[in-house]
Amino acid sequence: MHFKQLSPTIAIMTKTRAQTIGRWIFASLVASLTLFNTLGFEHWSYAEVTIWSFLALLSWHLLFARRRIQFDLERQLITINVSSLYPLTQQVIPINHIAAFQIQQRLGQPHGYDLLIVMDTQIEPLKFQYGDLHQIKKLGQALSQFCAIPLLSD
Amino acid sequence: MQYSQLSKKAQRFINPDGLPEQLRLATKGHYVRRGLALLALLPLSASLIMAITLDGGEQTFYQFVVALLLPVVLILWALKQHLVLDNPSQQRFVQSKFLGYYFKKAYLAPLKSTELLLRHDSYNRNQYELKLHNLVYPIGSLTDTTQAMMFFAQTFNLPAKEQITQFPNIRELDLLSSNEQLIASLSLNFQDKPIAQEVDTINTVDGYSAQATDVKENGNPAHRPLSADIEPLWSPKLILKLFYPLPFIMVFGFVMKFIGNL
C-alpha cells in the first residue's frame, strides 16, 4: 500500500496496479476452481460439502476482503475500513489528537518495522502499517508531511 | 548519583564492572548470541542423553552431534560484546571479548556525542525508558528512569535530553538542579496524572460533549466522545465476523448437491 494524495485535503492509500491485477487473477482462479467443484457435488457426501464450504469461505475473503484508508484534513480524520462485501471493522482516528507518527522495529524481526500512530489521549499507540524500513520510512514521511505531524524514528 | 542508589530493575540492565572509569554495557548482538546459545542447549542436551544411553552406531552418531554442538554453544556463550563508555580516554566504542582476550575497538566515537534520552515506553505510554546511543532500557517508573539517566549523565558528563514534557519535541535537561527537582519538573508538566484525566481536560477545552452519541448515530465522527479509547483495528471477536458468509455458502453447496442428485 502506498500513499496517494487526491486533493489538498484528501488522500488515500492505494495498491500498485501490478498488486491489484496479480491479486485479482489469483483470487478469481481460486474462486472459479471452487465453483467448478460444485458441478461434481452429486458424488460428494454431506461431510465433504461442509469441508468444501470452509474452503469456499477462504476464497470468498481472498476475492472480496479489502482495506480502505482515507485521510481527510477538513474533517481532521483518518478512517480505516475493512470489508469483505459486508463491513468487518472500522477505525476512526482524529488527526488533531495524534501526537506523532513513530517508526519502530518489531521485536525479534530484524527487517520488519511498524508505523505507529501515537495518540496524546491514549496509553497504547495504534499500529498502522507494517513493512521493511525503506517502505515504512517513505510512507511515514508522506504522512507526516500531509498531516503536518512530526515523525519519530529510532 | 551512585550505582548503589539505582533501582533493582536498572541494576539488572547495567553491569557495574569497571566503574568509575568505564562502563561495559551489553549490546543487542550480545543478547542475540546468548539467546542462540540457549536455543542450541536444547538439541545439545537431548543428544547428550542419547550419546550416553544408546549404543552401537546410533551412539557414535550422537557423539558426533555433541562434539559438533558443544564448541558452538561454548563459543556463543563465551563471546561477549559490549558498548564501552570510557572516561579516561573520553571515548565510546564497541568491543568484543572472548575468554579474557579483548578484540579491537570498533565504532570509536567521542564520549560527548553519546545520545542520552528519556522517553515514553513505546508500548505503554505510562511507562518510561532510557535510550543510550542505540541501547534502550525499559526501566518503568519515571523516578527510576530519571535516576538511571542522572547516573549516566553524572558519571560520564553526558548531555541529557527528554521527550516527555512537550511530547514529540526533544528538550535539553538542566542537570545542575537536584534529582528531586528534576523529577518534579518532569511530572508536573505532563505525567504522573493518568492519561484519562488529560482526556477530560481536552474534552472540555474543545467543547466535546460527554453525551455525544456514537459515530453512526449522529453522523459526525468528529464529535465522538474521546474518552472512549480507539480500539485496535483487529480484535479477537472479529474472527467470528469472518464466518458470517459461511451459512450461505453451506446452503449453496447443499442446494448444488440436491440439484445434482435430481
CB contact under 8 A, A121 and B126: no
Greater model confidence, B233 or B205: B233
The complex's ipTM works out to 0.82
Closest listed residue to residue B178, CA positions, set B145, B147, B137? B147
> What pLDDT is attached to residue B228?
58
State what percent of residues in chain B have pLDDT above 70. 82
With a threshold of 0.80, does the pTM exceed it? no
Confidence (pLDDT) at B188:
61
Cβ atoms of residues B215 and B224 within 8 Å: yes
Nearest C-alpha neighbor of B139 from the set B1, B12, B2, B3: B12
Gap from A18 CA to chain B (nearest CA, Å): 26
Rounded-to-integer distance, Cα B94 and Cα B112, Å:
15
Say if A146 is an interface residue toward chain B (CB within 8 Å): no
pLDDT per residue as tens digits for the range B140-199:
888 888 888 888 888 888 888 888 887 778 888 777 666 777 777 777 655 444 444 444
A96-101 own/partner pairs: CB under 8 Å, 24+ apart: A97/A121, A97/B202, A97/B226, A98/A147, A98/A149, A99/A149, A99/B167, A99/B168, A100/A149, A100/A150, A100/A151, A100/A152, A100/B167, A100/B168, A101/A128, A101/A140, A101/A143, A101/A144, A101/A149, A101/A150, A101/A151, A101/A152
- Please give the grid coordinates belonging to residue B34: 546468548
Cα B55-B61-B66 angle, rounded to 5 deg: 105
pLDDT confidence tier of residue B223, bands split at 50, 70 and 90? very low
- Weakest-pLDDT range from A46-50, A141-145, B233-237: B233-237
Minimal Cβ distance to A120: which of B167, B224, B256: B167
C-alpha grid cell, residue A74: 477538513
Whether B123 and A124 lie within 8 Å, measured CB to CB: yes
Inform me whether the pLDDT recorded for B134 exceeds 80.
yes
Q: Please state the rounded mean pLDDT for residues B2-16.
A: 85
Question: What would the pLDDT profile of A60-78 be if each residue is shown by its tens digit?
Answer: 999 999 999 999 999 999 9
CB contact under 8 A, B125 and A118: yes
pLDDT for residue B176: 65
| pLDDT at residue B28, rounded to an integer | 87
User: Which ranges constitute the DSSP H helices of chain A?
Assistant: 17-37, 46-64, 133-147
Residue linked to cell 466535546: B208
3-state secondary structure of B251: helix
CB neighbours (10 Å) of residue A81? 16
In the prediction, which pLDDT does B225 show? 45
**Looking at chain A, how many residues does it have?**
154
Nine-digit cell string for A152 = 519519530
Mutate to test the interface with A, among B230, B237, B246 (most CBs of A within 10 A): B230
Mean per-residue pLDDT over chain B, rounded: 80
Instruction: Show residues of chain A in contact with B126, CB under 8 Å.
Output: 123
Cα A24 to the chain's mean position, in Å?
16
Higher pLDDT, B225 or A44: A44
- Tell me how far apart the alpha carbons of residues B137 and B23 are, in angstroms, rounded to a whole number: 15
Compare all CA atoms of chain B with the CA of A40 and give the residue at the minimum distance. B260
Using a pLDDT cut of 70, give the percent of chain A over it: 100
Mean pLDDT of B1-22: 83
Q: What is the DSSP letter of B214?
A: -
How much is the pLDDT for B204? 38
CB A48 within 8 A of CB A62: no
Q: How many beta-carbon pairs under 8 angstroms link A with B?
A: 119
Chain A residues near residue B233 by CB distance under 8 angstroms: 80, 82, 89, 91, 126-127
A57 Cβ under 8 Å from any chain B Cβ: yes
What letter would DSSP give residue B239?
Answer: H
pLDDT tens-place string over residues A82-132? 999 999 999 999 998 888 999 988 887 888 999 999 888 888 888 899 999
The nearest CA of chain B is from the CA of A139 a distance in Å of 18
**Strand-pair partners of B85:** B23, B92
